[in-house]
Structure formats: structure tokens, C-alpha cells
Amino acid sequence: MTSLSSRTLVVIGNGMVGHRLVEILRDSSWRIVVFGEESRPAYDRVALSSYVDSWDSADLELPALSGCELRLGEKAVSVDRDRKVVVGASGVEISYDALVLATGSVPFVPPVPGRDLPGCHVYRTIDDLDEIRATVEAASRPGRRSGMVLGGGLLGLEAANALRGMGVSPHVVELAPRLMPIQVDDGGAALLKRLVEKLDLTVHTGTSASSIERDGTRLIAKLASGLELDLDVVVFSAGIRPRTDLDLGLELGPRGGYLVDAACRTSDPHVFAIGECAAVEGVTYGLVAPGYSMAEVVADQISGGARAFPGADVSTKLKLLGVDVASFGDAHAATEGALEVVVNNAVAGTYSKLVVSDDARILLGGVLVGDASSYLSLRPLVGKEVPAALLQPGGAVDVEMPADAQVCSCLAVTKQTITDAIQSGVACDVAELKACTKAGTGCGSCVPMLKKLLTECGVEQSKALCEHFTYSRAELFEIIRATRVTTFSALVEKHGTGRGCDICKPAVASILASLGNGHILGEAQVSLQDTNDKFLANLQRNGTYSVVPRIPGGEITPEKLIVIGEVARDYGLYTKITGGQRIDLFGATVDQLPEIWRRLVDAGFESGHAYGKSLRTVKSCVGTTWCRYGVQDSVGLAIELELRYRGLRSPHKLKSAVSGCARECAEARGKDFGVIATENGWNLYVGGNGGFTPRHADLLVSDVDTEELIRIIDRFLMFYIRTADRLQRTSVWLEGLDGGLDHLREVVVDDKLGICAELETAMESHVSDYADEWRGVLEDPEKLARFTSFVNAPGVPDPSISFRAERGQRVPVSLGIPEVVR
């Protein structure tokens, strides 16, 4: 008998569903071996079309698997069920106690003559997209290129979107009389067609390709309707078929797929199948959510449980080419006697259909196109009594959801389970809800609903900045901007209570500085500044400060380097290279700061704002000037950006970097705004950071020239400064932004809110008003007078500060901290 700890689970297939299974079982006692045919780690195939935004497969990668043996690039070639052994392409043999088939599916290519010609592709993997790109780039036609997508379903429209992203005008050819025939009805599809045709798509429904021929460098497709299309590329996305080429001698379902029971078990009790390759009680599913659900079932089964596949909710809500489309329940009113309530607003571009039972009491399903915001409230009501208001024209869709309604259909989590977790205090935010209920960990489409439930349960964090202001930082920003108030006293008197504190004062000081208002140590502002800002240096543990002069882009002359060395030597400052390509000088007392600045400023240095919630550095690699691989002048751009945004006060510190090529030596994607050179210009990434919760920045725009790049960064930074919370880095701000990256792009690239000109003007005035803060102190005797340790003994150094030597430098003697009774 096999002992518990040495049982082996072999998973064949490293797609999304196989990956999910391993994740679930990560901490179990099973030894897990995964065979993956593709050589790359598992990636998010649902988001495949977004690959064309960055052409970086890392963007799609799923979280790396730990605690399993991942055999990437090794196809499982055979299975000996008698010996319970899987044989890999390399000849390796792995014995299993349980085997899970997660081989996925293969694209269905209709038997069109010419389908194997060069330039014809399927749309399924990252490699497919790379090949499509190669075809498109090889097409030498001047002007816009043309492509055909065969299949007008969900996948076909995704493929069309990917082609658009490559600069190709797509023709979409669908055999059925409408787009997305499975999910959407005629009325919804008509609107969908109208909306996508505005986006440079040409839709041909009710026809198919009868042949594809090559004509020189061109492909000519003849449609059954008689139309001829002159094309550069053809993409087949006419559906998928379960992949069962690994023959285990197991029974298959009526429409293909390894036949399994409700426990996802084949006729061999040691063998399971999940995802698109499985026919659960004969039915195959082409969506990821049912696949995840099957993974849950198998994980439970092999752990000794008795969970069964709950049946799949094939509801879908997605944004295709920017158009909201949702379909749920009995979308086609197939139930006998079903009634339809249709609201088709051609002017607004929205279509909604609710399907109800013959007595108009029970909601059966629906279709939404153009605006699918009510999907999250409607879907859980399927099979339940329908609120009468919904059936009135313009009826409210914000309806109360019954407690037993499923919020997360991937993992079958009900509203009750979620509200229980919130009300018992176990979960106070979405992350905790995900951890304790598993809701939202499947396809993630219910996450907005989780947020809504948190709010409904009264968990929403107060926006109030502190006890002195009921406003959020963003609201205070608008108040200060609109009323042009310039002092904290005036603000707190009119819009707050009390005298302020260490939270609101620096926040208001930062807002005042973001809006201009002169030197941050001006009479009205100095008492608001946090200690670092108050002394334009960074307070260290022994009460001394560190000094960081600006070194734009990390480029420095030997002469300036020598000055820094001399200053450090003369004042006995501990010297360290920072992570931001500059030099930090530690151990200066308050009295020494102006003297040190004087020497630095005279040598051409200025404040590096290491102390401020403001731009720190713009790091760079050496770029085209020296590097054999560089494609743009990264140092030049980094210096330009650093000089443009220096001194810009913001809700939190801002870091940036510029890399001269895709090798990314400057680590730009770990920055609040990072720029990576391309052959054609620059890619701009936003919302990255290191720190406690590292996050890679997201691609905002690609291949823009320097002028456009700077314009978009101007807008991005000003939008962030206006709307973020106090001490909220761009990453957290972006993740909390309603509509996320898409919304950000709409605002700062497409100017949907019409505020871009204003944001740019605000940045222009920042740039023209910039002045070095150190110099501002040196030139003002009143400010200078504050830099003394003792008001009754100017010039006397603080006797509590002392140093010792370590590795040839001075470091603080640890202070005799009195025993603090706690």
C-alpha cells in the first residue's frame, strides 16, 4: 500500500485549468508532476489578445507554481494504465497514483480549400500570435493591411481585436446569421455588429469562405456570398474541439472529449479529465470557469471528498472591442412558454433582453449589449422571483440579491457565505474575502460584486483624511484648487475642525505644493511639513540627516563626483550609493545642512528631493550611446524626464526609469512610470513599484514618440496627483481606480473627460515655476535661521549625537534608549 505522503499525481497539460488544479493542491501531501507540451509556463489564454499590446509573454504568465515538478516542453506521449505509468517524449516514465488529463482543445479549422497556405493561421497560443505577427510584418503592402477572421463568435472577435492591435483591418466572416450566435440573440447581435463596425471591422454574416488562394504576395478569399477579399493574413477561429490525441483507450463523449462522470472520473478510477478535453456526463465546455470548477472537483475527490461537478453556468460577461456583452441563463428563451422583455435603445447603443417564465414571475436569463453593468445583479437572480420593477420600461436594475444566490459561479459561493464572512469580521476587504471564501478566485468577474457587498455590509473605509477633515485627499485637492486657499489655517477653519495633525498637515502641504504656492518652507507652510520636508533632508535614527544631491539619469562628471567625495570627507559623512543611481551622504546635523548644500550648489548640484513625496530619480541604462543593443537614447530621455518632473509634489514618492531596449536593464517596470525603448519609439508602463507588495507596471501606450510620451506622462502624473489618496502609490491607486487601466487610458490618452488640456497646463506651470529648494534656503536669511540645533546657543552642536567607526566610515553610536515601559 502506498503511504499518504508519497502518492503521486500526474497532470498532463499545463493550461489554465491544469495550472489551477496544481495551485489548489499545492499544500497537499501529493507529489505532483506536470507535463506541459509548450515550453513556456502556463499563461492566461483568456487574455491572449492583450499579448499584442506588449508582445511580452511575461504579461500573461500565471503565478509560478511551486511544490510541483514541472516538465515544460515535454509532451506526454503515452499512458500505460495497467502499470499506471505516463511516458514523456524524452522517454521518462512517471508512475502515478492518480492521473489528470487536462490536455485542453485544438482549434477547429473548417475544410476550406487553401487553408494550409502560408499566411493562414489558427488563434490559440502565444506562438500562434507570434506567427500571425510575422505574417503581418512580412506583408509589404503600403498603408493599412487587411485580414480575414473566420468565425464571428467570442474567439473570432477576440482574434479580430488582436489583428486590429497589429494594424490590420479585419473582415469577420460568420456562418450563422449573426455575431456571437451562442451567447447573443438577433437584436443584441445587430447592435453588436453596428458598434464593432465603427471600429474598422467589416462583418459578413450568414456566409463562409469557399476558397483561399495565393496570388503573388496576396491571399484571395472567395466567400460563398460571391464576395472576394484581398488579404494579407487569414485567421481561423471557428471554434475548438476537445484534444484527445493521447489515446488511453478510454471512452469519448458524443461530441468528443474524454467521457467522465460528475466526479470528473473516467471509467478508469485512477484517471480524471478536466477542462476543455473533458466531456462531463457527455457535455464539453469551452469556457475557463467550468474548467476551474472541474479542477476543484478533482482536487476534492483525490483528497477523499465527494464533491461533484455542479453543472456549469455558461453565463459570460466580457468587453469585446470595447463593447460590453453579457449573456446569462436561458438567453435564447428556449424554455417552453418563456417571455421576453426587450429594451433596444439604438440611440444610446444599448440592448437588453430579459427572459422570464410564462407567468412572468421567474427570471430565466438575458442578453445585454452595449451596457452590461446590471449583469452582476441579474445573473444571481436566474431561477428566482423577478422583481416587478425590472419588467417596467427603464426599470431599476439595482435589485437586492437573495441570500442563496451564487455570487461566484466558478466556485459556487453564495451571497450568504460572503456576507457571513464580512459580518463576522473574518474579511474586511476583497483580498481577505478571496482568501477565506475563495469567491473571485476563478474568472474574477464577480470581484466588483464582492466590493459592492463589502460596501453594503458597511465595511467601506471612511474616506475622511483624519479627525480634522471629513474629506478625502482628492476632495481636499479639489477644494483647495477651486477656492485657491493658500493657508492651512484658512482651510481648516472653513472646511475642517481643530488645529490639524501630523496626517492632514503634510497632506495639505503637499497639495499646496502641487498647486504652486512657492517654497515649501514659506512662512505659511513650514509648520505643516513633515520633518524630512521641514529640513529638506532625511531624518535618520539618531536625529541626524542624510543629504542626496540630484544626479539626473544617474549621469555624473568626474569633477562633480570629486566634489561629493570632498564634501563627504570634510564633514565626515557616511557615504553610500543608492538604488536610484545616486549618492546618499549620512550623518549631517541640522547646523551643517546649509553649509553642505552651499558647497554642493556652488558645484552645480541641487536638491534631489530624496526627502519629499515627490519625484525621486529617473534611473537609466546607458542606451544607444554606448550599448551594442540599445535602440534609443535612454540616458538622454531619463535626464529630460528627471529635470521636467523634479520637485513635483505628489501623494507619495514617484520613481521612474528608462530602458534603452527590451532587455530592460533599468528595471523600468518596477517604477511608478517606466519607459522602455522600442524600434519605433517608446513604450510607457505605469503603476509599478518594489517595496512591500511588488508590482510590475502595466503598459499604457506603445511605440509613441518622445513628444507624445511626455504629454501622456504629464497627464498621468497630474491625474494621479489630483485623485489619489494620501500616501497611495500609483500601483494601489491604479488598482483601485474604477475601470482600472482601461479607464486611465480613456482619461489620459483618449481625453474622455476633457481634462487633458488642464492637466497639461498644470504640468507646464510646475515646470516653469520649478526652483531648487536648497538654493531657496541659502538665499533667504529667515529660512536659514531655522537650521540651528538650539535657539539659545546657535552654532553649538547637539551633544547627544556621537559616532563610531565601521568599515572605515562614521556611523551613529546607538542611543541609550530609555527602557520604555509598554
Partner 1 sequence: MIVCDFDVLRPEQGVAALLPDGSQVAVFLTAEGSLHALDNIDPFSGAAVLSRGIVGDRGGVPVVVSPVYKQAFELATGKCLEEPSVSVAVHQVRVRDGVVELT
Contacts of 572 (CB under 8 A, 6+ apart): 587, 803, 810
Interface segment toward partner 1; rule CB under 8 A; list 53-61, 74-82, 298-306, 534-542:
534-542
Interface segment toward partner 1; rule CB under 8 A; list 70-78, 158-166, 366-374, 784-792:
784-792
d(C-alpha 391, C-alpha 757), whole Å: 44
261 binds partner 1 (CB under 8 A): no
Question: Which phi and psi (to 5°) does residue 63 adopt?
Answer: -55, 135
Question: Mind spelling out the 3-state secondary structure of 474-512?
Answer: HHHHHHHHHHCCCCHHHHHHHHCCCCCCCCHHHHHHHHH
In the complex with partner 1, the residue whose CB is nearer, 392 or 527, is 527
506 binds partner 1 (CB under 8 A): yes
591 binds partner 1 (CB under 8 A): no
528 binds partner 1 (CB under 8 A): yes
629 binds partner 1 (CB under 8 A): no
d(C-alpha 242, C-alpha 121), whole Å: 19
Instruction: Choose, by CB under 8 A, the member of 54, 350, 542, 683 that binds partner 1.
Output: 542
In the complex with partner 1, the residue whose CB is nearer, 545 or 673, is 545
505 binds partner 1 (CB under 8 A): yes
What minimum distance in Å lies between the beta carbon of 815 and partner 1? 3
Interface segment toward partner 1; rule CB under 8 A; list 148-156, 180-188, 205-213, 521-529:
521-529
541 binds partner 1 (CB under 8 A): yes
Q: 150 in helix, strand or coil? A: strand
780 binds partner 1 (CB under 8 A): no
What minimum distance in Å lies between the beta carbon of 477 and partner 1? 20
d(C-alpha 530, C-alpha 612), whole Å: 9
What minimum distance in Å lies between the beta carbon of 614 and partner 1? 18
Half-sphere CA count of 274, side-chain side, radius 13 A: 33
The separation between CA 773 and the C-alpha centre of its own chain, rounded to angstroms, equals 36
Give the E-state strand segments of 315-472 in sequence order.
Answer: 316-320, 323-329, 339-345, 350-356, 363-369, 406-408, 413-414
Question: Mind spelling out the 3-state secondary structure of 91-143?
Answer: CCEEECCEEEECCCEEECCCCCCCCCCCCEEECCCHHHHHHHHHHHHHCCCCC
In the complex with partner 1, the residue whose CB is nearer, 52 or 507, is 507
789 binds partner 1 (CB under 8 A): yes
What minimum distance in Å lies between the beta carbon of 796 and partner 1? 6
Instruction: Choose, by CB under 8 A, the member of 78, 225, 345, 800 that binds partner 1.
Output: 800
Interface segment toward partner 1; rule CB under 8 A; list 168-176, 271-279, 305-313, 792-800:
792-800
595 binds partner 1 (CB under 8 A): no
Written as nine digits, the cell of 265 is 472520473
Instruction: Choose, by CB under 8 A, the member of 106, 501, 556, 603 that binds partner 1.
Output: 501
804 binds partner 1 (CB under 8 A): no
What minimum distance in Å lies between the beta carbon of 611 and partner 1? 12
- Euclidean distance between the first and the last CA atom of the chain, given in angstroms as a whole number: 56
In the complex with partner 1, the residue whose CB is nearer, 133 or 505, is 505
What minimum distance in Å lies between the beta carbon of 790 and partner 1? 4
* Cβ neighbours of 324 (radius 10 Å): 18
Footprint on residues 471-500 left by partner 1 (CB under 8 A): 489, 498-500
In the complex with partner 1, the residue whose CB is nearer, 552 or 587, is 587
Contacts of 70 (CB under 8 A, 6+ apart): 14, 34, 36, 41
In the complex with partner 1, the residue whose CB is nearer, 521 or 724, is 521
d(C-alpha 355, C-alpha 184), whole Å: 13
Q: Which of 700, 681, 703, 705 is nearest to 750 (CA)?
A: 700
Instruction: Choose, by CB under 8 A, the member of 64, 482, 577, 820 that binds partner 1.
Output: 820
Instruction: Choose, by CB under 8 A, the member of 792, 804, 805, 807 that binds partner 1.
Output: 792
Contact of 162 with 282, CB cutoff 8 Å:
no
Written as nine digits, the cell of 719 is 491625474
Half-sphere CA count of 636, side-chain side, radius 13 A: 10
d(C-alpha 466, C-alpha 488), whole Å: 14
d(C-alpha 536, C-alpha 777), whole Å: 9
Q: How many residues bind to partner 1 according to rule CB under 8 A?
A: 39
In the complex with partner 1, the residue whose CB is nearer, 500 or 660, is 500
What minimum distance in Å lies between the beta carbon of 817 and partner 1? 4
In the complex with partner 1, the residue whose CB is nearer, 533 or 698, is 533
In the complex with partner 1, the residue whose CB is nearer, 771 or 796, is 796
Interface segment toward partner 1; rule CB under 8 A; list 241-249, 503-511, 615-623, 703-711:
503-511
Q: Which of 376, 378, 374, 394 is nearest to 386 (CA)?
A: 378
Instruction: Choose, by CB under 8 A, the member of 44, 56, 268, 530 that binds partner 1.
Output: 530
799 binds partner 1 (CB under 8 A): yes
781 binds partner 1 (CB under 8 A): no
DSSP H helix total and E strand total for the chain = 23, 39
What minimum distance in Å lies between the beta carbon of 3 and partner 1? 52
User: Looking at the chain, how many residues does it have?
Assistant: 822
526 binds partner 1 (CB under 8 A): yes
816 binds partner 1 (CB under 8 A): yes
What minimum distance in Å lies between the beta carbon of 475 and partner 1? 20
d(C-alpha 407, C-alpha 385), whole Å: 16
Contacts of 349 (CB under 8 A, 6+ apart): 191, 194, 195, 370
Torsion-angle region of 141 (φ positive above 0: left; ψ -120 to 50: alpha; else: beta): beta
Contacts of 344 (CB under 8 A, 6+ apart): 187, 191, 351, 352
796 binds partner 1 (CB under 8 A): yes
Residues within the interface to partner 1 (CB under 8 A): 467-468, 489, 498-502, 504-506, 526-528, 530-531, 534-535, 539, 541-543, 789-793, 796, 798-801, 815-818, 820-822
